[in-house]
C-alpha cells in the first residue's frame, strides 16, 4: 500500500468513514503538495506551433486569388456575338433552289448607287412602286462623312419597307421564305449583313429569313 503522505489524493488526516463510504474530512485545508500540484495542473497548456492556428494559413493565397479575380472581372469586355445563317453561294441561275413560276423569287442586288430589287420577272421601280428598271429601287441617301466616304449611304429602312410591301401585296408571297442576295464585287461585308438584317424580319414579323447568296454572271 502506498504511503498516504506521498499521495496528494489520499484522504489522509483521520477522516470519519460513514456507512456509504463517503468520508467527511475534519479540515478543508490543502497541503503544500496539493497546492503545488494544482498550480502545475492548472497552468494553461502551451500549444504546439503547428496547432496554434488550428489550420493552414491561406491568407497570402487568398490575396493572390482576390487580386487575380479583380483583374479578370475588370478585363472582361462584354460583347455578344450572333450567328447569321446562310447557304452556299450559287453561280448563275442553275444552282438556285427550284424557282416556281407563281412565286415572288425576291432578289436584292447591292450596287454602288443603291439597292436593286427584282421580282419573279421584272425589276421593281424606284420607290418600290410598280415595275421599272434602270434606276435603283432604293437609291443611296445623303449621309455624314463619318458614315460614308462619299457622303451617301444605303437606305436600309426603305429596303425593309419595300420587302414588307412586296410580301403583303404580291400574290403567293406571304408564304415565301427565301431571298437571294447578290452584290457588286466591291461591296463590304457590313453592307451584306445590313441587307440580311433588313430582309429577314421587321417589327411586324418575319419577312424572308432564308438568305441565299448568288453571284451575278
Partner 1 sequence: MASMAKYKAELRKITRRRAVAHEVNFLNITAMMDMMTIILVFLLKSLSSSSANLPQTNDLALPTTILQGEPTEAGIQIVVSRDRVLVNGNEIKSLSVPGCFTNPNDAPKPHEGYRLVFCPGDSPHGFDAKFKARGTATDLEISPLLNAVETPVRVAEEIAKAKPKPGGGNGVEAMILFDRYTSYRVMTEVMFTLGQAKIGKFHFLAMQAK
**Interface of this chain with partner 1, residues 15 to 34, rule: CB under 8 A:** 15, 23-25, 27-31, 34
Grid cell in block for residue 160: 425593309
Rounded distance between C-alpha atoms, residue 193 and residue 200, angstroms:
10
| Complex with partner 1: residue 125 or 148, whichever CB lies closer | 148
Residue 112 within binding range of partner 1, rule CB under 8 A = yes
Instruction: Determine, following the binding rule CB under 8 A, whether residue 83 of this chain makes contact with partner 1.
Output: yes
Task: Provide the minimum distance between the beta carbon of 74 and partner 1 in the complex, in angstroms, as a whole number.
Answer: 12
Locate 16 and state its grid cell. Answer: 470519519
Between 9 and 205, CB nearer to partner 1: 9
Interface mask toward partner 1 for 61-80; x: CB under 8 A? xx--xx-xx--xx--xxxxx
Residue 192's H or E segment, with its range, is: helix 189-200
The whole-angstrom separation of Cα 164 and Cα 120 is: 16
Instruction: Report the alpha-carbon distance of residue 210 to residue 176 in Å, rounded.
Output: 9
Among 36, 129, 172, 184, the residue binding partner 1 under the rule CB under 8 A is: 184
Residue 102: CB minimum distance to partner 1, A: 28
Q: What is the DSSP letter of 201?
A: E
Grid coordinates representing 192?
451584306
Q: Which of 2, 16, 58, 203 binds partner 1 (CB under 8 A)?
A: 58
> Binding to partner 1 (CB under 8 A): which residues in 118-177?
143, 146-150, 153-154
Instruction: Give residues with Cβ within 8 angstroms of 5, minimum separation 6.
Output: 12
Amino acid at each position: 500500500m502506498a504511503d498516504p503522505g506521498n499521495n496528494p489524493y489520499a484522504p489522509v488526516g483521520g477522516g470519519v468513514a460513514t456507512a456509504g463510504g463517503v468520508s467527511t474530512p475534519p479540515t478543508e485545508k490543502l497541503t503544500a503538495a496539493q497546492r503545488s500540484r494544482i498550480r502545475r495542473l492548472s497552468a494553461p497548456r502551451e500549444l504546439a506551433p503547428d496547432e496554434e492556428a488550428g489550420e493552414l494559413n491561406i491568407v497570402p493565397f487568398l490575396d493572390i486569388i482576390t487580386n487575380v479575380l479583380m483583374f479578370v472581372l475588370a478585363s472582361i469586355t462584354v460583347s455578344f456575338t450572333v450567328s447569321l445563317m446562310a447557304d452556299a453561294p450559287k453561280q448563275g441561275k442553275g444552282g438556285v433552289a427550284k424557282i416556281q413560276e407563281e412565286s415572288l423569287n425576291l432578289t436584292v442586288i447591292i450596287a454602288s448607287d443603291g439597292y436593286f430589287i427584282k421580282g419573279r420577272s421584272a425589276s421593281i421601280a424606284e420607290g418600290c412602286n410598280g415595275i421599272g428598271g434602270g434606276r435603283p429601287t432604293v437609291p443611296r441617301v445623303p449621309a455624314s462623312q463619318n458614315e460614308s466616304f462619299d457622303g451617301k449611304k444605303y437606305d436600309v429602312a426603305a429596303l425593309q419597307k419595300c420587302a414588307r410591301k412586296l410580301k403583303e401585296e404580291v400574290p403567293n408571297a406571304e408564304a415565301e421564305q427565301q431571298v437571294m442576295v447578290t452584290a457588286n464585287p466591291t461591296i463590304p461585308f457590313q453592307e451584306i449583313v445590313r441587307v440580311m438584317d433588313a430582309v429577314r424580319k421587321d417589327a411586324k414579323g418575319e419577312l424572308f429569313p432564308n438568305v441565299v447568296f448568288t453571284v451575278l454572271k
